């Protein structure tokens, strides 16, 4: 349905997007997962036609976006990271304006507005000025603007940034409902749990490149059987680095002031040796956590840092 071929975008010496290729299949939720600054927003800006790529092609059902932009954009819904709302207008008035831009008129537009307000749970507040809304309500309305014309593919750029946990749950429920209705979804996030719960396939992205791609099970297999141990305390990075590198069968993934992440090799022996060494080294630690193989451990293995960075 949606095909990206060797897509690149540079800003001076910075490769914001560096030759990425992937396909989004009809009816799936495809996730771009990576930390802030990975290139996710730049990628979506090119997919939506806002930015022109330096190199590469974007095909929608074999139609080139930049050869026939109007034909493709009519079938896309875009939900930007920054809300695109007129705050002095009501939710209904915002939807009427954006629906009109997509060519909806008369009773067709009214029906689309009612359906979309119900979908995002804003029917009861439809006539209130948006400036009176909470942050979560504004996010839901922002999502509604990208759904008003029932696009075949919707591009969602970090739609839950800056909202409380309950509002996030509401947004994710709407996205699941949209996907169940048959709309294809491309979803960017730096929240691991969102990608795990929503996406059929996930691409892990960092520094403008796609480092790994596949279903959740496929990516976890790439992570191998390695557990990761995170230690926190009042220690210097070089001190803990020396202590950990002296332990056989473990691998230091990252070390910084007061925090280190170690791969244990997965056999159990590595974890035991590591803990014995740490407790015997008299390191000023105040926290130890052990995590099973996950997307985060795969990301650590690929980049040497966590998705939280």
Mean pLDDT score, 169-197: 91
> Does 271 share its domain with 209?
no
Mean pLDDT score, 101-128: 95
Sign of the torsion angle spanned by Cα atoms 54, 21, 172, 93: positive
Give the model's pLDDT for residue 267.
54
Q: What are phi and psi of 117, to 5 degrees?
A: -60, -40
Domain count, the chain: 2
> Does 240 share its domain with 203?
no
Gyration radius of the chain's alpha carbons: 23
> Does 160 share its domain with 267?
no
> Does 161 share its domain with 65?
yes
Q: What angle do CA 263, 265, 267 make, to 5 degrees?
A: 135
> Does 188 share its domain with 247?
no
> Does 241 share its domain with 275?
yes
Kindly indicate the confidence band of residue 104, based on its pLDDT and cuts at 50, 70 and 90.
very high
Contact 120, 140 (CB under 8 A): yes
Percentage of the chain surpassing pLDDT 90?
A: 56
Contact 200, 239 (CB under 8 A): no
Is 202 part of any domain?
Answer: yes
Which tokens in the block code for residue 15? 């490769």
Is 301 part of any domain?
Answer: no
> Does 216 share its domain with 272?
no
> Does 142 share its domain with 236?
no
Count the Cβ atoms, other than its own, within 10 Å of residue 70. 7
Mean pLDDT score, 1-27: 93
Q: Flag whether pLDDT at 109 surpasses 90.
A: yes
Last residue of a domain, one of 202, 220, 238: 220
pLDDT digits 0-9 by tens, 230-280: 888 888 888 888 877 777 777 787 788 888 888 776 555 666 777 777 777
Q: Flag whether pLDDT at 113 surpasses 90.
A: yes
Is 131 part of any domain?
Answer: yes
CATH code, 195: 3.40.50.300
| pTM as predicted | 0.79
> Does 94 share its domain with 152?
yes
Of the spans 168-182, 222-236, 260-274, which averages the highest pLDDT? 168-182
Give the model's pLDDT for residue 223.
63
Structural domain of 269: 225-292
Of 44, 49, 28, which Cα lies nearest the Cα of 82? 44
Is 46 part of any domain?
Answer: yes
């Amino acid at each position: 349905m949606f095909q990206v071929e060797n897509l690149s975008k540079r800003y001076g010496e910075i490769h914001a997007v560096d030759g990425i290729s992937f396909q989004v299949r009809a009816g799936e939720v495809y996730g771009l997962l990576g930390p802030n600054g990975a290139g996710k927003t730049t990628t979506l800006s090119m997919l939506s036609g806002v930015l022109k790529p330096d190199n590469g092609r974007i095909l929608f059902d074999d139609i080139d976006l930049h050869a026939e932009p109007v034909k493709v954009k009519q079938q896309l819904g875009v939900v930007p990271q920054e809300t695109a709302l007129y705050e002095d207008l009501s939710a209904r008035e915002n939807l009427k304006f954006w629906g009109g831009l997509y060519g909806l008129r008369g009773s067709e537009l009214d029906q689309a507005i009612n359906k979309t307000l119900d979908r995002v749970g804003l029917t009861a507040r439809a006539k209130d000025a948006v400036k009176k809304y909470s942050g979560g309500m504004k996010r839901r309305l922002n999502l509604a603007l990208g759904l008003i014309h029932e696009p075949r593919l919707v591009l969602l750029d970090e739609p839950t940034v800056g909202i409380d946990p309950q509002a996030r749950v509401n947004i994710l429920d709407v996205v699941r409902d949209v996907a169940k209705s048959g709309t294809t979804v491309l979803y960017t996030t730096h929240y691991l749990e969102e990608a795990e719960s929503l996406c059929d396939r996930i691409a892990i992205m960092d520094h403008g490149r796609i480092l790994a791609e596949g279903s959740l099970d496929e990516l976890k297999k790439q992570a191998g059987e390695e557990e990761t141990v995170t230690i926190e305390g009042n220690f210097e990075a070089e001190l803990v680095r020396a202590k950990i590198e002296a332990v056989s069968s473990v691998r230091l993934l990252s070390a910084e002031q007061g925090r280190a992440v170690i791969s244990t090799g997965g056999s159990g022996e590595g974890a035991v040796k590591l803990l014995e060494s740490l407790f015997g080294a008299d390191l000023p630690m105040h926290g130890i956590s052990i995590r099973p193989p996950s997307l985060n451990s795969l990301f650590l293995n690929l980049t040497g840092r966590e998705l939280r960075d």
